[in-house]
Amino acid sequence: MAPVRLLIPESCDVDVTFFTDSEDEEVQHYEIEKRYFQDPKEVWNLLDRDHINVLCLQRFILHPSLVAPTTAKLFEALILKAMNYDLKPAGYPYGQLKGKNPRVSIFLDELNNIAPSRGQGFSGDQQAGAILQHNAEQLRSQNVRLVASSHGWRKLRPGIRSSFQFLISLRGANYPSSEQPKLYRYNRLFEKLEPGQAIIAFPTKTFTDKIRIPWYGKGEDLGYIRYIGHLKPDVDKPRTSKASVSLEDLVLALKAVAQN
């Protein structure tokens, strides 16, 4: 497996511990390196072609007010870089690309947390989803592929869910007849899939047979991860300090206004 590069906010950290066997050898070993960033916009400058780049961000966001502005800033920077042909992971021979972006695949786990449908997210949590929806087609034309997962079709922003051409349905998948009339007819089939089974729907709405998804094991059997620290929201300082005003001063001021 390719080495892993963790992209971590500067004030936080990630501690990865692998279990060892009876001979004190790690059950499974991954080559892991860390890179730190101050601003989410810097993330796209830290990518490396020869690594699996993992952005560690959501686990450090505890305050709901940080979700929308942080993810929006992240995707704004991605779109600007892609449109300006400035998406340049290390390790590519850029002289051979002739001004184009290299092919980049971005995997978004639980996209419904980033681009929720109305009523499914936190207050004001539509900003990142709106940016993605508006620019989804542009990203595809700039060699940026989005691969996402969601806990439910209806949990995802409508404009986003219609942007994905290939759909992988797992056990319990359910589609509305108004948006996916062909898939809707197979809701019962999706409900009866076994764990680990899936059906792929292509843009033409043709389907595969039931396929078995490779099982890579449980993470808790290999080791554990500690996420250290969290991002704190900015505290707005009052623009002016309020001076104490006595009742007598207030009465005098009102009399002066009345006389004028």
Helices (H) and strands (E) in the chain, counts: 6, 10
DSSP-based three-state secondary structure for 20: strand
Q: How far apart are CA 169 and CA 188, in angstroms?
A: 12
Contacts 24+ apart (CB under 8 A), 198-201: 198/168, 198/169, 198/170, 199/168, 199/169, 200/166, 200/167, 200/168, 200/169, 201/166, 201/167, 201/168, 201/169
Check: CB of residue 46 under 8 Å from CB of residue 52.
Answer: no
Give strand pairing partners of 201: 167, 207
Do 43 and 100 contact (CB within 8 A), yes or no? no
- What gap in Å lies between CA 146 and CA 142, rounded to an integer? 12
Q: pLDDT band for position 9 (50/70/90)?
A: very high
Q: Mean pLDDT throughout 1-30?
A: 88
Q: What is residue 34's predicted lDDT score, i.e. its pLDDT?
A: 96
Q: Classify residue 231 by its DSSP letter.
A: B
Asked whether residue 64 carries a pLDDT value surpassing 80, the answer given is: no
Residue 205 confidence (pLDDT): 79
Per-residue pLDDT tens digits for 134-170: 888 788 889 999 999 998 898 888 888 888 889 999 9
> Closest Cα partner for 121 from 158, 155, 146?
155
- Confidence at residue 3, expressed as pLDDT on a 0 to 100 scale: 93
User: Of 69-83, 86-100, 193-207, 221-235, where does mean pLDDT reach its minimum?
Assistant: 86-100
Give the pLDDT score at 136: 82
Nearest to 139 by CA among 75, 81, 74, 82: 82
